[in-house]
Amino acid sequence: MVSHGAESPKLQSKQILALDIWQDILQYFFSYLLLFLVVVSSFLVIYYTHMNRQTTSELEQLYTQRDELDIEWRNLLLEQSSLAEHSAIESRAKKLLKMKRPDADSEIIVILE
């Protein structure tokens, strides 16, 4: 029974300690709440900063891709323009000079030896 009596004060001190901690939490609840909100806010700032950097990087890649496509578009316009000139020359030769493409029977192949 002596050991049972020794445990009882330990149990009581643990209960008193738990009660003191609970009272401390209730007493400083607003401070703990503010601390929690500050920590959450700091993590959100870190997250949104990361997202902003990632989005900016993707935007730069899209700008680069847009510039490459713009260069390709200009090259295609130049190619179309040169092809249109060739067809315009061909159509003028047909109209004004009454020229036509030779057919396979009228072609003569010259072989040089």
| 109 belongs to a structural domain | no
Q: Residue 77: inside a domain, yes or no?
A: yes
The residue whose two tokens read 């578009």 is: 73
pLDDT in tens, 49-82: 999 999 999 999 999 999 999 999 999 999 888 8
Sorted by sequence, the CB contacts under 8 Å of residue 27 that are 6+ apart come out as none
Q: What is the pLDDT, as a whole number, of residue 7?
A: 61
Residue span of the structural domain in which 49 resides: 2-96
pLDDT of residue 67: 98
40-44, long-range: CB < 8 A, 24+ apart? none
- End-to-end Cα spacing for the chain: 128
- Count of Cβ atoms closer than 10 Å to residue 93 Cβ: 13
* Count: domains in the chain: 1
Residue 48 identity (one-letter amino acid):
Y
pTM for the model stands at 0.51
- In angstroms, the CA 80 to CA 1 distance is 106
Residue 2 reports pLDDT greater than 50: no
> Angle, nearest 10°, between helix axes 29-96 and 2-27?
50
Tokens of 72: 């390709």
Q: Residue 86 pLDDT more than 60?
A: yes
Q: Give a yes or no: residue 104 inside a domain.
A: no
Quick check: 5 pLDDT over 70?
no
